[in-house]
Amino acid sequence: MKPSPNILFVFFDNLGYGELGVYGGGVVRGAPTPRIDALAAEGMRLTNMNMEAQCTPSRSAVMTGRAPIRSGTTRIPLPGQPSGLVAWERTIAELLSEAGYATAHFGKWHLGHDPARQPNAKGFDEWWGLLETHDSSLWSTAPGYDPSIVPPERLFEGEAGSPSRPVGDYDVEARRFFDAECFSRAEDFMARSVAASQPFFCYLPIAFPHFPALPHPDFAGVTGNGDFADAFVEADTRIGSLLDRLDTLGIADDTVVIITSDNGAEDVLPWRGWSGPWGGSYFTAMEGSLRVPFLVRWPGRVEAGAVSNEICHAVDLFSTMAALGGVPVPDDRPIDGIDLVPFLTGARETSGRESILCYVADRLHAIKWRNWKLHRIWQRYMLDPPVELSIPRAFNLYEDPRERHDIFLPDNTWLQRPTMAAVAAFNATLVDHPPIPPGTPDPYRPAPS
C-alpha cells in the first residue's frame, strides 16, 4: 500500500475569485501570476468552491469539517469573551498528527486566543504567526491610538506541549515581512520532515491579500502598479519557490498541493480586490463572498488541466484531507464535509454535493442548490443592512452570475421545495446535536442525546 501523501495547504486571506491569471486576472490586474497559473495546468481547477462569509467561520469549517453554526464560530470573535473552537472540537491537524504526520501552522489562526485553543494545542507540532487578524497591524499608525490602553497584537510561536511565546509586536513593518516568514518556515519544516522520513501536513494561512496588502521590501515597486499588485507578485513568487522546494526534496509526486482562499475579495480601499463575474462583497451570502479560487495538484492522481464546476464547500476539505491521510473522521458528532478524493481523482464524476446553506454570522441568508440561489435575507455588500424578505429572491447563477435579476415570481416558486428540504434536513441534525453557543468556555461537553 502506498504511503499517505504529504499535504501542503496554502490558504489565502480574502483572495477574490477573479484575481489569479488562470481565473481571468493576473495581467488584467497588473499583477501576473505565472507560477500559480502553471500549477493550475498541472492539476485541477474548481470553479464552484464555496467558503463562509468571514474568515473565522471558514477556518473553523476547514479545520473541523463542521458548519460553523455547530461550533459557535459563526463570526469574527469579539473581545472580552472566549473565542474560537472549544477544546472538544477535533481539527484535521489532530487527526493527522495522531496518524503519524508532522504538522505545522505558519500564518493567521483566528480560532481562539486561550492556550487550550491555540494551534499547538489543536494538533500542530509547531506554529508561528498571529492569533487574531491583520487589521491590528494598522493600529500603530492610527491617530489617537494609545498602546497603554490597547496593547498591540503580538506574533507568537510555539510547540505542542508547551505554551506559545510572544516574539514581537505586529505592526505595519511586521506586516510587510509576515508572508516571507511563513514561506521560509514552511520550506524548513518540509525539509526537516523529509529528513525524518515523516509525512507532513503544512498549513499556510498567509496574510495576502488581507488589508493592509503590503509587499516585502524586495518586491516593492516591481510592477509599477502599486502595493496591491506588488504583493501579488510576491505571493506568486513565494509559492513558486515552495513548489521548487518540493522538487529539490524529491517529493513533488508524493505531495498534494491545495491553494484556495478563506472567502471572497478584499473590499477595503486602497486594497480592493476583484470577484471576477460574481457580485457582492464578503460578509454576505453573495457569490462574490462565497465563491473562491481552488487549485489542487497531485501528480499521477489528479488529472492535469482538469476543470470542474461541481459544488464544493470548505467543510469538504476536512473530510478530504482526512481521507488523504488514511484516517477516519469522528463519528461522535455531525461532520458536514464530503470526501472529495474520489471526485478529484476521477473515480467519481460528481462532488457528491448539490446544496450549500449560506449563513452570515448566525443567520441563514441564502441556500444554493445546483445552479440556483434562493435568498431569504438580502444583503449585497458588507456595509449594507441585511433585509428580511417576505418573498424570497431567486437567481439562476448560469444566467445571472451577479445576482441582479430576481426571477422567483412567477415561474420559479418551485425552488422552495429542494432548498427548504436541504434546510429541514440540516435543522433536524441541530435538534439531536444542539449548536455550541458563541463564547462557550472550556471545558465543554455536549449534552447526552
* Residue 72 sits in the same domain as residue 38: yes
HEC readout, 105-139: EEEECCCCCCHHHCHHHCCCCEEEEECCCHHHHHH
Same domain, 209 and 286: yes
Identify the CA nearest to 117 among candidates 137, 87, 144, 147: 87
Q: Are 5 and 254 contacting, i.e. CB atoms less than 8 angstroms apart?
A: yes
SS3 419: helix
245-255 core/surface letters (b: 16 or more CB in 10 A; e: else) = bbeebebbebb
Whether 190 and 234 map to the same domain: the answer is yes
Whether 183 and 263 share a structural domain: yes
In this structure, are 259 and 215 located in the same domain? yes
Q: What is the pLDDT of residue 447?
A: 85
Is the pTM higher than 0.75? yes
Q: Same domain for 371 and 321?
A: no
Same domain for 187 and 123: yes
Residue 366 and residue 337 share a domain: no
Residue 138 is predicted with a pLDDT of 96
Residue 105 catalytic? no
pLDDT at position 449 is: 66
CATH number, residue 205: 3.40.720.10
Same domain membership, residue 377 and residue 256:
no
442 falls within a domain:
no
Task: Say if residue 365 is in the same domain as residue 312.
Answer: no
pLDDT at 2: 58
SS3 349: coil
| 370 and 302 share one domain | no
Catalytic (active site) residue 55? yes
Q: How large is the angle between the packed helices 227-248 and 34-42, nearest 10 degrees?
A: 50
306 within some domain:
yes
Mean pLDDT per 10-residue run, the chain (449 residues)? Answer: 86 98 97 98 98 97 98 83 93 98 98 96 98 95 96 97 97 97 98 98 98 97 97 98 98 98 95 96 98 98 98 98 98 98 98 98 97 98 97 98 98 98 98 94 88
Residue after which a domain boundary falls, among 288, 318, 344: 344
Which of 55, 182, 202, 312 is catalytic? The answer is 55
Give the CATH number of the domain where residue 400 resides.
3.30.1120.10
Q: What is the pLDDT of residue 83?
A: 87
Taking alpha carbons only, the member of 386, 178, 401, 138 closest to residue 271 is 138
Q: Are residues 208 and 115 in the same domain?
A: yes
**Cell numbers describing residue 248:** 529539490
Domain that holds residue 409: 355-432
Q: Which helix (H) or strand (E) holds 178?
A: helix 172-195
Residue of 110, 134, 216, 375 marked active site = 110
pLDDT score for 305? 98
| 276 within a domain of the structure (yes/no) | yes
Number of structural domains found in the chain: 2
Mean pLDDT, rounded, of the chain? 97
